[in-house]
C-alpha cells in the first residue's frame, strides 16, 4: 500500500480513534456504535496496523460484548460513566466485526483470532437468518424486525465480500446461499425512476414479495448507498445489479451529485452528497464501465465520521476488487481533495 493510503489512515485515526480504542464521531460524541468499531477494525487490518487493531478490539470487547451471545450491542453512551443503553445488535456491524477478526487471524496468526471470528459468525447464522416466503433473509437485528405478516430487512446489511469469505474460509455453503439470496433480494427491491434500492424493505411471509417499508424505506439514502459499495467489493458487479446506481449518479439532469432520492416521487436531495458518497459513486460508475469524470461537480455536505469512513472503505474496496485507487478518484485533484478532507 502506498504512502498516501497510510497517511490517510493516520489522519483518520487522529480524528476519530481515541487512545483507548473508542471510535468518536464529533457529531455525536456521547455515543459510539458497533458499526463504527467494526469498520475501524477492518481498516486497521487492511492498513496492517496491529497496534490500532488491538486497541479498538479491546474497547469493543470490554464495552459492547455484553450480550449472552457473541453479537455486539449496537450502541454505547458515555452518560453516567458509560453504559450500553440498547443491547440489541446491528447485523451489518456483526458481519464486519466477524470479518475483521477472520482477516486479522490470517494477517497475524499468533493473535489467536480465528476462533473468535467463527464464534461470531456462527451466532449470526443461528440468530439472524430466517426462511421467509421462499427466501433466506438476514434480519437487521435479533429483536424488533419480525412481524406477523412480514419481516423487515435492510439491503445494505448484506456485506457480500464478508459472506463470500465466510463461505470459503469456513467451508460452509450456507453463507453462499445467504449471499445469493441477498443478491436476489436486490433484484426484487427496485423502485422509482432509476430502479434504486430503498434503505429498508419488508418481505412478506406468505410469498416473499418485497416492498418498501412505509415511512422508513422510501428513499435510496444513507443506508442503501452502501449497496453498490458492497456489490463492487465482492465483485458481484453484473450490469443488471450496478447499472441502476451508475445511471442515477451520472444522470445529466443532476446539477450536483444527489445524496438521496425519494423513490415515491423521484425527487432528490436539495444538496450535494458528501465525499464518502462521492467515493462510492466513483467506484460504482468505474465498475459499471463508465468514467468517474461523468459525475456532477463535487461539493456538498460537511466533513463527518460517516463520510470519512465510507471514503476509506471505498479505497479499500477498490484495491481488493481489482479496480484500483483510480476508480475512486479519477484525477490527482480529487485525490488531493480527499486527503484534505481526511486531514
Its domain, for residue 9, covers 3-342
The cell for 179 is 449471499
**Band of pLDDT at residue 335, cut at 50, 70 and 90:** very low
Torsion, CA 132, CA 158, CA 277, CA 190, rounded to 10: -30
Angle value at C-alpha 229, between 12 and 33, nearest 5 degrees: 50
**Are residues 17 and 40 in contact, defined by beta-carbon separation less than 8 angstroms?**
yes
What's the CATH code of the domain at 91?
1.50.10.10
**What total of structural domains would you count in the chain?**
1
The catalytic residue among 25, 45, 49, 92 is 92
Which strand (E) or helix (H) includes residue 85? strand 83-86
Q: Is 35 a catalytic residue?
A: yes
Confidence at residue 302, expressed as pLDDT on a 0 to 100 scale: 64
The catalytic residue among 35, 45, 164, 223 is 35
pLDDT digits (tens, 9 = 90+) for 287-297: 999 888 889 87
Q: Is 146 a catalytic residue?
A: no
**Are residues 190 and 197 in contact, defined by beta-carbon separation less than 8 angstroms?**
yes
pLDDT digits (tens, 9 = 90+) for 195-226: 999 999 999 999 999 999 998 999 999 999 99
What integer is the mean pLDDT of 234-239?
86
Output b/e per residue, 294-332; b: 16+ Cβ within 10 A: ebbebebbebbbbbbbbbbbbbbbbbebebebebbbbee
Checking if the pLDDT of 63 tops 90, the result is: yes
Amino acid at each position: 500500500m502506498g504512502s498516501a493510503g497510510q497517511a490517510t489512515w493516520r489522519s483518520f485515526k487522529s480524528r476519530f480513534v481515541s487512545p483507548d480504542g473508542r471510535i468518536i464521531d464529533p457529531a455525536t460524541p456521547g455515543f459510539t456504535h458497533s458499526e463504527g468499531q467494526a469498520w475501524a477494525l477492518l481498516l486497521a487490518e487492511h492498513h496492517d496496523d496491529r497496534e490500532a487493531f488491538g486497541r479498538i478490539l479491546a474497547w469493543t470487547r470490554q464495552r459492547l460484548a455484553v450480550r449472552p451471545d457473541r453479537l455486539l450491542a449496537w450502541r454505547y453512551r458515555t452518560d453516567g460513566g458509560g453504559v450500553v443503553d440498547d443491547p440489541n445488535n446491528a447485523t451489518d456491524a456483526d458481519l464486519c466485526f466477524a470479518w475483521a477478526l477472520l482477516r486479522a487471524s490470517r494477517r497475524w496468526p499468533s493473535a489467536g483470532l480465528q476462533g473468535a471470528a467463527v464464534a461470531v459468525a456462527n451466532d449470526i447464522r443461528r440468530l439472524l437468518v430466517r426462511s421467509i416466503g421462499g427466501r433466506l433473509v438476514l434480519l437487521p437485528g435479533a429483536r424488533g424486525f419480525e412481524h406477523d405478516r412480514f419481516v423487515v430487512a435492510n439491503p445494505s446489511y448484506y456485506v457480500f465480500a464478508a459472506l463470500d469469505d465466510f463461505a470459503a474460509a469456513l467451508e460452509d455453503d450456507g453463507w453462499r446461499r445467504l449471499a445469493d439470496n441477498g443478491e436476489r433480494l436486490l433484484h426484487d427491491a427496485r423502485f422509482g425512476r432509476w430502479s434504486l434500492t430503498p434503505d429498508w424493505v419488508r418481505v412478506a411471509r406468505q410469498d416473499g414479495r418485497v416492498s418498501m417499508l412505509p415511512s422508513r424505506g422510501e428513499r435510496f439514502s444513507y443506508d442503501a448507498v452502501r449497496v453498490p459499495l458492497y456489490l463492487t467489493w465482492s465483485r458481484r458487479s453484473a450490469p443488471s445489479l450496478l447499472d441502476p446506481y451508475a445511471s442515477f449518479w451520472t444522470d445529466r439532469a443532476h446539477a450536483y451529485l444527489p445524496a438521496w432520492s425519494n423513490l415515491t416521487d423521484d425527487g432528490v436531495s436539495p444538496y450535494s452528497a458528501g465525499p464518502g458518497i462521492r467515493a462510492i459513486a466513483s467506484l460504482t460508475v468505474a465498475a459499471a464501465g463508465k468514467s468517474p469524470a461523468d459525475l456532477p461537480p463535487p461539493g456538498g455536505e460537511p466533513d463527518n465520521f460517516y463520510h470519512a469512513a465510507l471514503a476509506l472503505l471505498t479505497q479499500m474496496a477498490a484495491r481488493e476488487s481489482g479496480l484500483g485507487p483510480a476508480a475512486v478518484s479519477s484525477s490527482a485533484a480529487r485525490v488531493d481533495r480527499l486527503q484534505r478532507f481526511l486531514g
